[in-house]
Amino acid sequence: MSDTLDLFKQPRALDSAAHRQLRYAASQPYHFAAQQLFAPIVSGEADMVAREYAIVFSDQSGSLPLALLGRARGHNAYVRDSGHWMARYVPAHFRRYPFVMSEVTAPGTEGAEAASAIEHIVVIDADAPHLSADQGERLFTDDGQPTAVLQNVQRVLAMMEQDSQRTLALVAQLEAADLLVARQVVVASKQGQPVGLTGLRVVDFERLNALGDASLAALQRSGALDLAYAHRVSLANLQDSVLVDNEAAAPSTSSGSISFDGIDWSKF
């Protein structure tokens, strides 16, 4: 499923020399996400995602939870031909585009030393409509320093990375408790036959309810239990959501700004 998660057609490390004149225009149609079947999500946004998307888990261990966006590979039901997003909440994965944080090894390090010399850099999609030489806000000043716009991007990406790591730990807890099971996920249809999607996992709530008090308490303290229940609530969207009827939601017209408040995903 990694190919469906990869938005970046021309990934490039953001560089103050090569991209000195680059500008960022946040508000763009969502055509760039029109072929995405899934969006990886973080725990901080799970409650908002659960209102309008089905949350599922990849069959690949060590992966973030996924918001299901369509019934067939290559088609995102939440993006209209006009580029409008057909839901009130847009997953953070798309709203931070065309930026992402990436890990690289510091130059001149080898072996065991390299493992402790990991640096985080900002990567852009050079093919993104948000980026150009003449539209939007500059990312660098004339002397190559990050502008306030880029500083905010960097802050947001760092917070997303932190929440991603926390979410991976929560998924690992669910896996360690043997609660994630392979299951065909069936999406209803108002116009035709239901569609069954394979290669996914869901939480087995019979196993969850059979856990001892200590195990349940550990899941609750960490937040893994909250994630499991957001997933459970979200599965109603397999029967009643944009997945089933593309007219079910009011459209969002643009990808908006990358300005958010702290890690409160309801404000992002």
Question: Is pLDDT larger for residue 169 or for residue 242?
Answer: 169
Identify the weakest region by mean pLDDT among 43-52, 182-191, 248-257: 248-257
pLDDT at 41 > cutoff 70: yes
Whether residue 221 has pLDDT greater than 80: yes
Distance CA 36, CA 256 (A): 19
Average pLDDT over residues 52-72: 95
Which pLDDT belongs to residue 108? 60
CA 149 to chain centre: 21
* Both structure tokens of 262: 């702290």
**Predicted TM-score (pTM) of this structure:** 0.86
What is the reported pLDDT for 177?
97
Task: Give per-residue pLDDT as tens, 83-127.
Answer: 999 999 999 999 999 999 998 876 665 665 655 667 889 999 999
* Distance (Å) of CA 95 to CA 2, 19, 28, 66, 168: 19, 21, 10, 15, 20
CA angle 24, 25, 26 (to 5 degrees): 105
**pLDDT bucket at 19, cuts 50 / 70 / 90:** very high
The mean predicted confidence, pLDDT, of the chain is 88
Alpha-carbon 93 to chain mean position: 3
